[in-house]
């Protein structure tokens, strides 16, 4: 669980680091969580990396609803922009698919260099995203066991280290860390529910209730089946039902809704409730 708390000072530093690194890269690899493709983005990237080709990777696709993921990838693709949905832990094709997509996104630039008589150099990419979205996992997957790293000192204040993904592509070995958005309570709950932010900073029961509401809205019947309740039960009563089905009782056999909230969120994160995507691709969000 991530414990970083974001204060204005952290955000300002992250923004400066990002701006600094952006100058050195030809394209961006933006990671988002496939379960929450909108809540796990940070719009600052649109401002900062405007014009740079972008590969959006929806990570943790093994935990997300495959049908929703298909809709999201289609929706997120566009001009100068590709989207891949990947299980970064297990998918053996991750590396080759990422490299192929980055090549395609930077091909125009490479061709421009050739036309101008410049010998094409490897294209350079930076991975970025909010905490816990899979940046380090991705970099490790690309780097492999004994990949070469190269240091680069083109007269800048600080040298950068690059991982040679293949002869045509290098990836910055330090990812760009973006802060999560806490612009509305729903986003906060989605981030906490998936483990992107520390749940301690929010009220656990509120997070669980928001999430129960979201899951019931998008996947009617799933929670009712898992926790053996009928469909008409209110969200707050649902927590009591979860406590009962999971035998989480306080003294006097009262349902312990606090522990039920924790149990529910853990079960959701582990995928025990199935592969669920908590934001619908066909909604305005
Ligand atoms: N199930 C699943 N877990 C993942 C995937 N990618 C990363 N993780 C896990 O998510 C957590 C955060 O990943 P990490 O790479 O450290 O994220 P970072 O904070 O962005 O660098 C780790 O526990 C990873 O093992 C994925 O595709 N599927
Ligand atoms: Mg990391």
At 249 the pLDDT is 95
Question: What is the whole-number distance in angstroms between the Cα of residue 132 and the centre of ligand 2?
Answer: 7
At 155 the pLDDT is 53
Integer angstrom CA distances of residue 126 from 41, 97, 136, 166: 16, 16, 12, 15
Output the tens digit of pLDDT for each of the chain's 285 residues.
444 678 889 899 999 999 999 999 999 999 999 999 999 999 999 999 988 999 999 999 999 999 999 999 999 999 999 999 999 999 999 999 999 999 999 999 999 999 999 988 999 999 999 999 999 999 999 887 656 666 665 555 567 889 999 899 999 999 999 999 887 888 999 999 998 887 665 689 999 999 999 999 999 999 999 999 988 889 889 999 999 999 999 999 999 999 999 999 999 999 999 999 999 998 766
CATH superfamily membership of 8-177: P-loop containing nucleotide triphosphate hydrolases (3.40.50.300)
Within the chain, all domains assigned CATH 1.10.1580.10 are found at 203-270
Residue 67 in tokens: 């049908």
CATH of 203-270, one of 3.40.1280.10, 1.10.1580.10, 3.40.50.300, 1.10.3720.10: 1.10.1580.10
At 131 the pLDDT is 92
DSSP at 273: T
Does pTM top 0.85 for this prediction?
yes
State the ligand closest to the CA atom of 130: 1
Residue 1 in tokens: 């669980």
Residue 215 in tokens: 């899951």
Residue 27 in tokens: 């394209």
For ligand 1, whether the C-beta of 62 sits within 6 Å is: yes
Smallest CA separation from ligand 1 atom 2, residue: 60
Residues 244/206/191/198 CA torsion (nearest 10 deg): -90
Query: Residue 163, SS3?
Result: strand
Residue 131 in tokens: 């905490």
At 209 the pLDDT is 94
State the ligand closest to the CA atom of 35: 1
C-alpha atoms less than 13 angstroms from C-alpha of 67 in its C-beta half-sphere: 6
Helix axes 204-218, 257-270, angle to 10 degrees: 50
Closest CA to 207 of 250, 247, 266, 249: 266
Testing ligand 1's pocket by substitution, the residue of 1, 36, 66, 88 carrying the most ligand atoms inside 8 A of its CB is: 88
Within the chain, all domains assigned CATH 3.40.50.300 are found at 8-177
Report d(CA 208, CA 239) in Å as an integer: 8
Smallest CA separation from ligand 1 atom 1, residue: 60
Question: What is the whole-number distance in angstroms between the Cα of residue 133 and the centre of ligand 2?
Answer: 8
Question: What is the whole-number distance in angstroms between the Cα of residue 130 and the centre of ligand 1?
Answer: 11
Smallest CA separation from ligand 1 atom 3, residue: 60
| Chain CA centroid to CA 284, Å | 19
Integer angstrom CA distances of residue 3 from 11, 182, 247: 15, 15, 30
Question: What is the whole-number distance in angstroms between the Cα of residue 31 and the centre of ligand 2?
Answer: 12
């Amino acid at each position: 669980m991530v414990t970083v708390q974001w204060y204005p000072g952290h955000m300002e530093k992250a923004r400066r680091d990002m701006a600094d690194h952006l100058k050195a890269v030809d394209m961006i690899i933006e990671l988002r969580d496939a379960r929450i493709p909108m809540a796990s983005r940070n719009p600052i990237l649109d401002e900062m990396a405007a014009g740079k080709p972008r590969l959006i990777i929806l990570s943790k696709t093994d935990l997300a609803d495959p049908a929703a993921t298909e809709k999201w990838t289609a929706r997120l693709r566009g001009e100068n922009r590709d989207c891949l949905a990947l299980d970064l832990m297990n998918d053996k094709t991750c590396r080759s698919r990422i490299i192929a997509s980055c090549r395609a996104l930077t091909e125009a630039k490479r061709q421009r260099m050739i036309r101008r008589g410049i010998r094409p150099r490897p294209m350079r990419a930076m991975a970025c995203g909010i905490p816990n979205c899979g940046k380090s996992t991705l970099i490790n997957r690309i780097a492999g066991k004994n990949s070469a790293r190269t240091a680069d000192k083109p007269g800048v204040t600080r040298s950068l280290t690059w991982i040679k993904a293949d002869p045509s592509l290098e990836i910055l070995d330090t990812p760009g860390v973006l802060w999560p958005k806490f612009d509305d309570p729903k986003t906060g709950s989605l981030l906490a529910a998936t483990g992107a932010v520390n749940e301690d900073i929010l009220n656990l029961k509120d997070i669980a209730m928001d999430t129960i509401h979201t899951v019931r809205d998008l996947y009617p019947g799933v929670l009712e089946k898992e926790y053996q309740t009928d469909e008409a039960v209110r969200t707050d009563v649902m927590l009591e039902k979860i406590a009962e089905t999971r035998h989480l009782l306080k003294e006097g056999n009262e349902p312990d809704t606090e522990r039920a909230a924790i149990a529910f969120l853990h079960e959701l994160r582990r995928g025990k409730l199935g592969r669920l995507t908590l934001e619908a691709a066909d909604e305005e969000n």
